[in-house]
Amino acid sequence: MSELQAPDTIFERIGGDAAVEAVVEIFYGKVLGDPELKDYFADTDIDRLKKHQARFVGMALGSTRPYSGRSMGKAHEGLAITSDHFDLVVGHLAASLTEAGVDDETIGAIAGKLLPLKGDIVTA
């Protein structure tokens, strides 16, 4: 991308890979530090969890990197994720983005991309 061209995805606007890595670290600490959520990841090894977080954040930010994982329905089926827990996770992401210096308007745009996935992810 030329320096004269405005970044056209949220991913680019907040600073690309470096910003995503910072958000992933903060988000990871919040999700695993939440007693309501950590059990969902009990059978998930750390490498997979970090991949989960990176893809989650990348998807949220409109990363240009192709996503080749399972559909959101398949990835979360059998986990019995509740609506409240989904909201908690999205709340942790929003707080992590704030801590990483992302502005509220951008966070609102990110939330707008994630909320439509709720019906595929929540099964309890």
> Rule CB under 6 A: which residues touch ligand HEM?
37, 40-41, 44, 48, 52, 55-56, 59, 69-70, 75-76, 79, 81, 85-86, 89, 114, 117, 121
Spatial neighbors of 51 by CB under 8 A, at least 6 apart, are none
User: CB 4 → ligand HEM: shortest distance, Å?
Assistant: 33
User: CB 3 → ligand HEM: shortest distance, Å?
Assistant: 31
76 marked among binding-site residues: yes
Closest CA to 54 of 23, 96, 92, 33: 23
Residue nearest to ligand HEM (CB): 69
List C-alpha distances in Å: 124 to 73, 78, 83, 113: 13, 9, 7, 22
If the CB atoms of residues 5 and 68 are measured against ligand HEM, the closer one turns out to be 68
Token representation of residue 78: 């059998």
Binding residues: 52, 76
